[in-house]
Chain A
Amino acid sequence: MKILILRFSSMGDILLAAPVLDVLKKEFPDSQIDWVVSKKYSEALKTNPLINRLMVFKDRAGLKKIRKDISRTNYDFIFDLHKNSKTSYLTRFSKNVFSYNKRVIERFLLVCFKKSYREIIPTTRMYFAALEKAGIKTPAKWKLKFGIDKETELETVRRFDLHNTNYIALIPGASYYTKMWPKEYFRELVRKITVSKTVKRKIFILGKGSEEEMIGEYISDENRSECVDLTGKLDLQQTAAVLKFADLVVTNDNGPMHLAECFDKKILAIFGCTTEEFGFFPYSVNYQVLQTDHLKCRPCTHFGRKKCPRKHFRCMMDISPDIVFEKICGMLNA
């Protein structure tokens, strides 16, 4: 039995799609499962033992090569969990292609007419729908998984003395500006945590990319002894190792939030322009979400924007550091 999964990006979506591997392996233990992924996000799947072959592409030429490969290999099932023009290019002449309902119309009605979904479906469950179309039974509950290389884990634990440190992981970045809680607020929050007697913890700031590095530098600037800025210094494996031993993860709506979900961490997520309807809450763990419910302009988009279209950015500005700090106290003392 040969099975192919198509999900190219991004990190969060890939992690949310990974539980389909468990379902498929349970249903077809002797199957060969291949996965097509974009090079930028391949790290999220590299260590997954359930994948036999990871087909990585960088550009159009790489995609063309993979297309030839797919047409040569006779796949019994192809699960299109991305469903865009590139995946239809790959599967144009293939049989047994199963995809899921992206809820495009419902999403349009929600963003433009603020008409709420009839039913909120977690993203992983939406991916399971593709498997159900192929007659495969899917579980009601699932767990996100991410394999950390043992050596990397040990090395990271030793490097930051993670076993003997009580710490909170902060992930201040996100793919879009409107999904980021203001860095000034993060800085104030760090100050509050470091001076507090009840929740006093060390803080590790995580993230990747130049913008995140600038934010990390800004947040940790005042409290260098208690706040360690690791933005841009760790790869995904090392980031996962740091997240694994954290007491709490405070994050925006981003990929590493789902990475923390893989290790059953307590998660405090701050959601700005996006809402629960899109299915990206960290459903599989103990989580709390902070969001501004009373705004009529939310959600202004389903993936984020470069700036607030109303210019007030109240979806994030109304969530003060005091509110977040109070939640952190509640979650750590629970």
Chain B
Amino acid sequence: MPEKIILTLLIIVLSFEVIYIIFRAGLFTIITAPLIAVSVVLSCYYFVTGISLTGFISLSSLLLLLTAKKFLKTKSYEKPDYRYLLILAGTIMIHI
């Protein structure tokens, strides 16, 4: 169950980032940080309840995404930071 919620959250994050890039409405990118944080918490819970390799990969990819969100953000009206989008796409692939 948590995996599905995490995947849904990540897809929402991706949609919001795309909307932000197109319309440059700052709220959409601000809101993604707590969504990723919630995913990390859920992944943490998933990993602690039943320790497994997939749980570990999920948690580490989400932590990487959170770090990327902090340091590789797309500044308003500048070219998008494709590295962050790539990490986000990769994290979604892992969770699929």
Interface residues of A (CB under 8 A from B): 112-114, 296-297, 300, 309-310
Contact = CB atoms under 8 A, between A and B. Distances in A.
A115 B34 CA distance: 31
B-side interface size class: under 10
Nearest to A305: B77
Contacts, number: 22
B21 A112 contact: yes
Interface of B: 21-22, 24, 75-80
Contact of A297 (B21, B77, B80): B77
Contact of B22 (A112, A297, A300, A309): A112
Contacts of A310: 76-77
Contacts of B22: 112
A271 to B, nearest CB: 16
Contact of A309 (B21, B24, B79): B24
- Interface of B (DSSP majority class): loop
Contacts of A300: 77
Contacts of A297: 75-78
B8 to A, nearest CB: 26
Contacts of B77: 297, 300, 309-310
Nearest to B26: A309
A304 B30 CA distance: 25
Contacts of A114: 78-79
A113 B22 CA distance: 9
Contacts of A113: 21, 79-80
17 contacts: A112-B21, A112-B24, A112-B80, A113-B21, A113-B80, A114-B78, A114-B79, A296-B75, A296-B78, A296-B79, A297-B76, A297-B78, A300-B77, A309-B24, A309-B76, A309-B77, A310-B76
